[in-house]
């Protein structure tokens, strides 16, 4: 598992990105759950999970957080 971080260029929310180096996934893209801005995309068949770790100050999510899996 490779861990990195990414910050939304639009609202400043910070995300932790967990990328599996062994589990198969699929190409995809990620969008900010706060503002919907494009965050990243990838063409490799990798499994990536984006987790919001720091919400932007003075802003609140328009959608409620997902229930724990």
Site residues (vs Zn ion, CB under 5 A): 8, 10-11, 13, 32, 34-35, 37
Q: Which is nearer to Zn ion, 35 or 47 (CB)?
A: 35
Q: Which is nearer to Zn ion, 26 or 59 (CB)?
A: 59
Tell me how far, at minimum, the Cβ of 45 lies from Zn ion, in Å.
26
Q: Which is nearer to Zn ion, 34 or 50 (CB)?
A: 34
Q: Which helix (H) or strand (E) holds 4?
A: strand 2-7
> Which string of b and e fits 5-39 if b means at least 16 CB within 10 Å?
eeebeebbbebebebeeeeeeeeeebebbbbeeeb
């Amino acid at each position: 598992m490779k861990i990195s971080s990414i910050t939304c260029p639009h609202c400043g929310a910070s995300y932790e990105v967990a990328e599996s180096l062994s589990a198969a996934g699929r190409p995809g893209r990620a969008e900010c759950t706060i503002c919907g801005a494009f965050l990243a995309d990838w063409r490799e068949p990798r499994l990536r999970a984006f987790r919001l770790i720091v919400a932007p100050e003075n802003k609140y999510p328009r959608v409620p957080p997902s229930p724990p899996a």
